[in-house]
Amino acid sequence: TRSLIVTGVQTCALPISKGLVMNNTYGAIVFGHGSRDPLWYVPMQQVVEDFKKLNPDWHVSLAFLEMNPLSLELATQNLASLGVTHLRITPMFFGVGKHVREDLPLLVDELRKQHPHITIDLLPAVGEHPEFSMWVAQLISRSHTPIHS
C-alpha cells in the first residue's frame, strides 16, 4: 500500500520586523479529478514520487475533486498540521474546463479563508504550461511500442 501523503521539511529563513526570523515550510498538492478505477491513480502517485525526488524537503500530497476521500480540503488540513506555511496547488488537468476555470478557484478561495496563515498559490493547469504541448509531441514521436497490437 502506498501512502498518499509524502512528507519532508524545507525551511527558509526570512527577516521580519525587529530582526526576528521566521521559518517557512513548503508544501505542494498535486490535484486531480479522481476516478473509481484504482489504476488511474498510479501516474498521479508517480508525479508525487518524482516531485519528492526533486524537492526532498517539501511536504507533498495528492488531492482530488471527487470519487476519492482525499479532498483538497483534507489534503490542505493535513499539510497545515505539518506546519506548512507556503502551499502550491497544481491542477493535473490537460484542458481547462469548468472544474479548473470555476470550481477549483472557489475551493482555493475557501481554503485561503480557512487557513489565513498559509500562503496558497494556485498554479495553472499542467496543460497550460508553454512546454506541455511540445513535450507531448516529442513523447508521441519517440513512442515506438504500441500498448495494444
**DSSP label at residue 63:** E
Dist. CA 104–CA 84, nearest whole Å: 20
CB 30 within 8 A of CB 41: no
The three grid cell numbers given for residue 106, joined into one nine-digit string = 472557489
Dist. CA 30–CA 58, nearest whole Å: 13
Grid cell 504550461 is found at 129
Pairing status of strand 5-6 against strand 59-64: antiparallel
Mind listing the pLDDT tens digit of every residue in the chain (149 residues)?
333 333 333 333 333 333 333 478 999 999 999 999 999 999 999 999 999 999 999 999 999 999 999 999 999 999 999 999 999 999 999 988 898 889 999 999 999 999 999 999 999 999 998 899 999 899 889 876 777 65
- What pLDDT, on a 0 to 100 scale, did the predictor assign at position 6? 34
The residue count of the chain comes to 149
CA 16 to chain CA centroid, Å, is 28
- What pLDDT, on a 0 to 100 scale, did the predictor assign at position 149? 57
- What pLDDT, on a 0 to 100 scale, did the predictor assign at position 12? 35
Which phi-psi region, left, alpha or beta, contains residue 2 (left: φ > 0; alpha: ψ -120 to 50)? beta
**Rg, Å, the chain Cα set:** 17
Task: Determine the straight-line distance between the first and last CA of the chain, rounded to whole angstroms.
Answer: 31
